[in-house]
Amino acid sequence: MKVAVECKSPLLQKSLEIFLSKYLCSTKQCDIVVRDEECIHDERCFYISSSADSDLVKPFSKSQLILALENKYRKSISGIREEIEREYGDEPLNFDILERRIELLTQEYKQNIIRAVKAFYEK
């Protein structure tokens, strides 16, 4: 689960960044965007406020926040699965492109690690 935080309140922004430090990433790469303003047309939006119609009502604890985000993430994943099943039906999926992409990324990662180790020991 990758989470981005975009809050108007600096206090809430910083608190969420501390609570979610191991989940944080950029807005472009995230699965969920935590906001303190309601967002209607963004499926990734996780709305926090004092109102009952929000995804998480203030005040909340770190564990309540994590659980609510995990539930939202699970719902979004199951929605994506259903969409794929509707689109492709019983047709078997072709994973050749995905496998090649994973191979390329793995090779690139391996080369970067080797380069970093060599640079460290050449000092």
Cβ density class 53-88: b for 16+ within 10 Å, e for less? ebbbeeeeeeeebeebbeebbeeeeeeeeeeeeeee
Residues of the chain predicted below pLDDT 70:
89-93, 123
- Among 117, 28, 30, smallest CA distance to 72 is for 30
Contact, 3 vs 75, CB < 8 A?
A: no
Instruction: Please report the pLDDT score of residue 92 as a whole number.
Output: 64
Instruction: Please report the pLDDT score of residue 122 as a whole number.
Output: 83
Domain 3-92 -> CATH class: alpha beta
Instruction: Please report the pLDDT score of residue 91 as a whole number.
Output: 61
Instruction: Please report the pLDDT score of residue 93 as a whole number.
Output: 64
- The residue ranges of every structural domain in the chain are 3-92, 94-123
105-119: pLDDT as tens digits: 999 999 989 999 988
